[in-house]
Amino acid sequence: MKKTSTRLADGRELIYYDLRDDTVRDAVDRRPLDRTVTTSEVRRDVLLGDSVAIASHRQGRTYHPPADECPLCPSQGDRLSEIPDSSYDAVVFENRFPSLAGDSGRCEVVCFTSDHNASFADLTEEQARLVLDAWTDRTSELSHLPSVEQVFCFENRGAEIGVTLGHPHGQIYAYPFTTPRTALTLRSVAAHKEATGGENLFDAVLERELADERVVLEGEHWVAFVPYAAHWPYEVHLYPKRRVPDLLGLDEEARSEFPKVYLELLRRFDRIFGEGEPLTPYIAAWHQAPFGALEEFEGVNRDDFALHLELFTIRRTPGKLKFLAGSESGMNVFINDIRPETAAERLREVASS
């Protein structure tokens, strides 16, 4: 992998990640852009104990442009985009309309391929490995920013999810705090560790899932399963078998196997609702240990956390979506319409030939 960092016309950072070491990236952003101005701030909810990002400047962000005006495609002739070069393998740049900025963190866009009509599932294993390396590199770099406590790499796919740009891409949020979801998990890990005299909760969960009927696919270094208490109609958790706290902890064996396992998982997601159905909308989310202090989670350190990816769709059956209504949105109590064992069986049935 070759990494080339440059700046866009408004001062934002852009980084090319190339498969070939001899690739030259010297294209200049020719757009007449003013410096990006954001109104992002983080406010604390004292009743719930969580934080909310206020980002009113995002109301003006690009919304479902036609394909020939996509800002994530390479620049071609007089059609100028966020990527100055005429081609790329993978690229990461600071979001022009960030939810978090400055002392409130940082938001980046990750473009998986220059092919506008592709999806992550269409990538080759070599391309998928490049994206994994980009996620890892950005996790490392962002973790050193003084305002950042946790790095979250994710992909939203599909209009049903709320995606406003159709080009295959994901995002990275660098939060200035430990997210509520992670904090809840760490409290459970701490309680389990104390109650069992030191046993790791992630290890216990993984051991149980490996012995159950909800395993979807398994490699030498990775395992994917539908969790016992899945929140979503089709939800799969992908774990490295050797517990590591973040992407930086993966060894070469796990990195090499990841593309094959993950691409197969994504392709199964696109087949679960049958032929002729639109591509399955999904969210793919990497959960990594915070880089900030963990004193509030007594007895827990970063190595107690287990890196894992959660992949889920809001589609519950062809033509029908799972909406977060009263119980889910009002009280955070999920009601799943599909038994996790049934979901796992379906995902095994649609394996590639």
Closest CA to 297 of 184, 148, 162: 184
Residue 279 DSSP symbol: P
Strand partners, 286: 309
Catalytic residue among 64, 116, 167, 169: 169
Q: Is 239 helix (H, G, I), strand (E, B) or coil?
A: strand
Radius of gyration of the chain (CA): 20
* CA–CA gap between residue 122 and residue 331 (Å, rounded): 38
Q: CB–CB of 40/99 below 8 Å?
A: yes
Closest CA to 306 of 202, 226, 192: 202
Active site includes 169? yes
Check residue 160 and give left, alpha or beta (phi > 0: left; psi -120 to 50: alpha).
alpha
- Taking the C-alpha atoms of residue 175 and residue 208, their distance in angstroms, rounded to an integer, is 32
Catalytically annotated residues: 169
